[in-house]
Structure 1
Amino acid sequence: MQLRVTFVAAARSTPLLAERFEDDRPLDQAGWDEVQRVVQDLIPLAAAELRYCSPTPRSRATGDALGYTPLVQLALRDCDMGRWRGLTLGEAMAREPEAVDAWLADPHATPHGGESLHEFIARVGGWLDTRPVEDGGRIVAVAEPSVVRAALVYALKAPPSTYWNIDVRPLSTTVVTGRAGRWNLRFDGAPTQPSRA
């Protein structure tokens, strides 16, 4: 049986440049407003047989606001950033510029004392590969944008450096289909009519 896993990126709780590593702050008013604007479009995903979310407050709140009542999955947590937890990228760069450069350049590097990008991608991919096929073909998972990026790199069997070239917007949806070890990225946009010359 082929699975269909739809990732929903959690609503944002801060402006992009103020995002912190392993941010555990709840949704702010702007985040709640974003969810209310898209709820009608995303609520049909609640029909999925299995509904999950990452353990962050904003992922749980996003899933609940969309009516998913998701089950928290620790494997969908953000990358363990060790001593950089709670810092913005700019703050980490100001404190340890060489360490940040090493982390950005080498997917196996752990200068922060946490998890490497390679380990993070493998953990998220391991979660994806172990979804129970017998429980149904449709799954929805609300997760941090970083987790969605990791899932895409894994599903596409892309080099880890690809992670830095994927932009996942809050409340966007990304679909992968397949089964363990054989995933495909799926685009479900509306068909366009050919233009007439």
Structure 2
Amino acid sequence: MSLRVTFVASARSSPLLAERFEDDRPLDQAGWEEVQHLARDLLPLAAAELRYCSPTPRSRATGDALGYHPLVQPALRDCHMGRWRGLTLGEAMAREPDLVDAWLADPRSTPHGGESLLSFISRIGGWLNTRPVEEHGRIVAVAEPSVIRAALVYVLKAPPSTYWNIDVRPLSTTTVTGWAGRWHLCLDGAPAHTSCA
């Protein structure tokens, strides 16, 4: 038995350089237009037996706009950034450059008073590992790009520093297959098909 989990990155709520930690803003106009443009391609994922989303407004709005009617999963929330919540990386760097450097260098550090990168990756991996496994079961999860990056680090059993080298674009899809403790990245390029086992 194996499970197929396709992550759909939420549409954007701001330009990339204006992304904020734990961003809870709704979709901007460009985000809505992107969803409308790609809806036809992403609609087949609505056939998944289970449909989830991160609790952010833009993930919920993306899932609803795509016709998924997803169930909000608190475990798929963004990394808790403590006092840096709502700041851009540049703003945090301007306020506390040494602490930002420490945070970027050590995945166990929590200089912001929130969640460490290592804990965040483990939490997302824990969510994956507790999904119900059925014969050829399919799940779609609309999530923040940071959540998808954490899932990929977990699935690939890569060093936590790999997190910083993964780029997840708005409305891109990423599929993993397997079950608890045995996940594989699937690069079939066809999110609605089941060619990866």
TM-score category (smaller protein):
over 0.9
What amino acid is the match of 1:181? G
Which residue is 1:179 aligned to?
A: 179
Corresponding residue for residue 80 of structure 2: 80
Where does residue 170 of structure 2 map in the other structure?
170
1:55–1:136: structure 2 CA closer, same or farther, 3 Å change rule?
Answer: farther
Alpha-carbon RMSD: 1.0
Question: 1:49, 1:136 within 8 Å by CA — same for their partners in 2?
Answer: no
Letter in 1 for 2:178: G
What is the aligned partner in structure 2 of residue 124 from structure 1?
124
1:108 corresponding residue in structure 2: 108
Equivalenced residue count is 190
Distance in 2 of aligned mates of 1:91 and 1:135: 47
Instruction: Quote the Cα distance in structure 2 between the aligned partners of 1:29 and 1:4.
Output: 31
* Cα deviation, residue 189, structure 1: 2.3
State how far apart, in whole Å, the 2-side matches of 1:136 and 1:62 are: 25
Instruction: Tell me the distance in 2 between the aligned counterparts of 1:84 and 1:64.
Output: 29
Q: Residue in 1 aligned with 2:195?
A: none
Question: 1:8-27 residue pairs with structure 2 within 5 A?
Answer: 8-27=8-27
The alpha-carbon distance between structure 1 residues 188 and 136, as it changes in their structure 2 partners (threshold 3 A), is closer
What CA deviation, in whole Å up to 9, does each residue of 1:115-140 have, x standing for no partner? 00000000000000000114861000
Per-residue CA shift, 1:71-109, capped at 9, x if unaligned? 000000000000000000000000000000000000000
Q: How far does residue 46 in structure 1 lie from its aligned partner after superposition? A: 0.1
Secondary structure in 2 aligned to 1:133? coil
Output the CA distance in 1 between the equivalents of 2:176 and 2:136. 15
1: CA distance between counterparts of 2:138 and 2:14? 30
**Partner in structure 2 of residue 138 of structure 1:** 138
Given residue 45 of structure 2, which amino acid in structure 1 is its aligned partner?
L
Output the amino acid matched with 2:157: K
Task: State the partner residue of 1:90.
Answer: 90
The structure with the larger Rg is 1
TM-score by length of structure 1 reads 0.95
Contact 1:50 1:136 in 2 (8 A): no
1:29 aligns with 2:29: yes
Q: Do 1:49 and 1:135's aligned partners in 2 also have CA atoms closer than 8 Å?
A: no
| 8 Å Cα contact 1:9/1:173 also seen in 2 | yes
1:160, 1:134 → 2: CA distance?
Answer: 30
Tell whether the 8 Å contact from 1:13 to 1:27 is kept in structure 2 after alignment: yes
The answer for the alignment partner of 1:151 in structure 2 is 151
C-alpha separation in 2, matches of 1:149 and 1:167: 8
Gaps of 5+ in 2: 191-197
Identity level (%): 84
- Please state whether the residue corresponding to 2:31 is helix, strand or coil: helix
CA distance in structure 2 between the partners assigned to 1:189 and 1:116 by the alignment: 32
Partners in 1 of 2:153 and 2:177 — Cα distance?
A: 14
The amino acid that maps onto 1:18 is: A
For 1:195, the equivalent position in structure 2 comes to none
Indicate conservation of the 8 Å contact 1:53/1:63, yes or no: yes
Report how far residue 28 of structure 1 moved: 1.0
Quick one: which amino acid aligns to residue 173 of structure 2?
T
> TM-score normalised to the size of structure 2?
0.95
